[in-house]
Amino acid sequence: MEIIILPDADAVASTTADIIEEQVRSGRSVLGLATGSTPLGTYRELIERHSRDGLSFADAQAFLLDEYVGLPASHPESYHSVIRREFTDSVDFTVGTVHGLDGEAENPAAEAGRYDASIAAAGGVDVQILGIGTDGHIGFNEPMSSLSSRTRIKTLTEQTRRDNARFFASQNEVPEHVLTQGLGTIREARHLLLLGLGEAKAAAVAAAIEGPIAAACPASVLQLHPHVTILLDAPAASKLAHTEYYQYTLGRKPAWQRF
């Protein structure tokens, strides 16, 4: 894993946007997009580069990581709505190329299978953006998820529903079930970018990077992936013990560890 510790959230956003921009400019690309607060700065930066520098997404496709079950796509907090509002409607994706899971599907298992097949039919994901939950989840793969899981329905933990209550009028309104790409699905993306911002993520980040590979911390499965870049602000990196091995752009250490 390539671990990059940056001074602040703006630096994480611009470094992440650099990686996405390089991918998109290299030709037809399949992007894996995450919702949640963490990637919002990256999306703002990409929107800025689209309007300022003509960065075009016309030849790209996107797949969302996850979706709440039971929320209509039109609900303002469905991930279908969130990604359009925060990113894709402000750039030039071709209509029909931003894909998500149908949270209202009558048969969630069939919907999950359809989604995995549509990612495969697109040629797989080139670059996948990931946030991390305070319990170490990625996508909505809560602790004890199978490390090889495929897209499927999951039940959210109380901790995640509490964490996400800020997007709803109350915690009671946070759906209990979700559809999420599985850990096995996520691991098929060719390049994974895990972003961590803020001290609240520090324990999960440390467990993911320095802990054992274990279902108790789903993000730890990234240790098995051949191409992972982890971009952290200083507070999110504050519980890492083995910082001598990581790349800093804080001015404290030379950048020496590259793929």
Residues interacting with ligand GLP, by CB under 6 A? 34-38, 65-66, 131, 133, 139-140, 160, 164
* Minimal distance, residue 66 CB to ligand GLP, in Å: 5
| 59 in catalytic set | no
How far apart are CB 25 and ligand GLP at their closest, in Å?
26
Q: How far is the CB of 251 from ligand GLP (least distance, A)?
A: 27
Q: Which is nearer to ligand GLP, 37 or 51 (CB)?
A: 37
- E strands, 34-186, in order: 60-64, 66-68, 98-99, 127-130, 152-155, 177-180
Active-site pick, 66, 67, 126, 163: 66
Closest to ligand GLP by CB, 55 vs 139, is 139
Active-site hit among 45, 137, 163, 233: 137
Q: Which position has the token pair 């510790």?
A: 5
Q: What are phi and psi of 63, to 5 degrees?
A: -125, 130
Which amino acid does the sequence have at 209?
A: I
> Looking at beta carbons, which residue is closest to ligand GLP?
131
| C-beta of 55 vs 194, nearer to ligand GLP | 194
Question: Ramachandran region of residue 62, left (φ > 0), alpha (ψ -120 to 50) or beta?
Answer: beta
SS3 per-residue string spanning 195-249: EECCHHHHHHHHHHHHCCCECCEHHHHHHHCCCEEEEEECCCCCCCCCHHHCEEC
Q: Please, is 190 exposed, middle or buried when counting C-beta atoms within 10 Å of its C-beta (0-12, 13-18, 19+)?
A: middle
Closest to ligand GLP by CB, 30 vs 34, is 34
Q: Is residue 10 annotated as a catalytic residue, yes or no?
A: no
Cβ at position 35, least distance to ligand GLP in Å: 6
- In the set 45, 67, 111, 135, the catalytic residue is 135
135 is catalytic: yes
Q: At its nearest, how many Å lie between ligand GLP and the CB of residue 136? A: 10
Which of the residues 67, 111, 126, 142 is marked catalytic?
A: 142
**Coil/strand/helix, residue 47:** helix
Q: Is 244 a catalytic residue?
A: no
Max Cα distance, the chain (Å): 54
Helix 40-53 / helix 9-25 crossing angle, nearest 10 deg: 50
Q: Coil, strand, or helix at residue 161?
A: helix
CB nearer to ligand GLP: give 39 or 246. 39
* Residues tagged active-site: 66, 135, 137, 142
